[in-house]
A = this chain, B = another copy of it.
């Protein structure tokens, strides 16, 4: 990893992210930062977000897969995703319905359901990393 600078663009992006209480998309950050740096480009936004991720200054929400995955079981249940091979499997932990109620009671949201995804290494990738 190369030595990182703190450019005014990178500074402004981090600032914009800190000012938002909800979690913006790259595009929303772009519009926010353009108030201060009108000619900043969207490419710069994306590049800086990726640098800030590398530096562990920010997080990407969900670490979700870059493209859709489908499940033939429509009942709510939890998943595991391997961080190495991206495989997604079911997890045998019953759906915790009381969590929805807990949130609904403590926040102003009207909660319908929730999803849980565990991340780590699947059996096969654990074996491979021992080689």
Most buried by B among A17, A69, A89: A69
**Pair A69/B24 contact, Cβ less than 8 Å:** yes
B59 touches A71 (CB 8 A): yes
Query: Contacting A103 at CB < 8 Å: which of B73, B91, B99?
Result: B91
A36-85: which have CB < 8 Å to B?
A: 49, 56-65, 67-74, 79-80, 82-83
Contact with B along A101-130 (1 / 0, CB 8 A): 011101111111111111111110010000
Query: How many copies of this kind of chain does the complex include?
Result: 2
Chain B residue nearest to A126 (CB atoms) is B110
Interface residue A11 (Cβ < 8 Å from any Cβ of B): no
State whether A80 and B62 are in contact (beta carbons under 8 Å apart), knowing that A23-B70, A25-B69 are contacts in the complex. Answer: no
Check A23/B89 contact, CB under 8 A, given A109-B121, A123-B109: yes
* Cβ-closest 3 pairs across A and B: A64-B64, A111-B120, A17-B72
